[in-house]
Amino acid sequence: MATIKKLGHELVSEKHADVVVLNTCTVKYSTEQKILHKIKRLGEKGIEVIVCGCMPEVQLEEIIQHNPDAHVLGVNSISRIGEVLNFIANPAISSHNTSRQAIHVFSHEPAGFINVPRLRFNSNIHICQLSQGCNNACSYCIVRFVRGPLKSFHPDSIVEDIKQGIAEGCREIWLTSQDNAQYGMDIGISLPKLLERICEIPGDFKIRIGMMNPFSVLPIIEELLDVYENDKIYKLIHLPVQSASNDVLERMNRLHSIEEANQIIKSFRDRFSDLTLFTDIIVGFPGEKDSDFLKTVEWVREYRPEKVNISRYTPRPHTKALEYRNIDSRIVSQRSNELHNVCEEVKIDIRKKMIGWEGKVFISKEAKVKGLMARTASYKPVVIPESCAVAGSFCKVKILDATPGYFIGKIIT
């Protein structure tokens, strides 16, 4: 977005826009249908549309069917959005194209993801993408067809990107990719080695490590545990188990057993007693029996993740699971609701037990409603309604109460 502004274009609300940029996702059928409807509706209104993100790579024909005039940028070509905007805005260029042919730009190599100008929605948070693509083949996942095989960005470039973010005032670094634990497997380096280099960057800042698949963590777990000891790293792991049934995991082609995922969690909790656990679970995968689902429910009760992203399975094009017979949607809905209720019970119980806790927190940003949002060493959110502290600093707090989304605390000496 910063590059767009640098070229002289203005960012406005959709209501006042001459051009609407749609950054698309194709993971879920419901999301895909909403996006296609919007692409069509904008075209009918005569508004220029640029479609980027995942959908152009695997659903280009559907995009064109819904809006033949839509401009398209492949997932690796987002850095060329300025060219498309200039084409739309420049009458001299448009006059040579009387047929009003839409522009389609695709590239095999990712570009423009790091070391580029940033326009941040939160001035204290710097998001750094480590890689593009994935080398695994989960049977339900369309993303690997969109983003291709793993392509890790050079560690020097990543370190420079983060240094620039810190120089611009950011004090929280979010590391992201399709699977952070895969980082470097294609270029002879590992995630722990990269984290060591990031932690060596001078300054007071915190690092949030994003999603890591269990089968990618297993080969590097000892080194990962060691580097997590660094105070700059939040004691948080986002480990998607997807199911607690090995039969379902095998059909998903997840390449790990639930016992292996459990061992990873146990190893982290043995080292870091206040660890925060996030996970993802797919409900209603083809072939999931009542007994399989019950194993997942019991797993949540036993391992007590603080956050669970629950997805109802929907078939996606190009995937192996498309060949499987789907479960009745009513059963899937029932299971999703039941699991949601269990997850809420677990979350509320965890939050109640934190009331009265005292300890050091990192001031992350301004809270949405009032005051400041702070994070414990394990990334638990604490809102401080009244404080003169500033983002990027540390202070000691006492937790007074808990809401469904965060804790409420006060600064103590």
Ordered mean pLDDT values, 10 residues apiece, the chain (413 residues): 71 87 89 94 92 92 94 89 84 50 86 77 90 94 91 97 94 96 97 98 95 98 98 98 98 98 98 97 98 98 97 94 96 98 95 94 84 94 86 91 91 87
| pLDDT value at residue 364 | 85
| pLDDT value at residue 96 | 41
| pLDDT value at residue 91 | 53
- Whole-structure pTM value: 0.90
| pLDDT value at residue 270 | 98
The structural domains of the chain, ordered by start, are 2-105 (3.40.50), 125-353 (3.80.30.20), 358-411 (2.40.50.140)
| pLDDT value at residue 329 | 95
| pLDDT value at residue 3 | 67
Question: Do residues 297 and 291 touch, judged by C-beta distance below 8 A?
Answer: no
Strand 48-53 relative to strand 125-129: parallel, antiparallel, unpaired?
A: unpaired
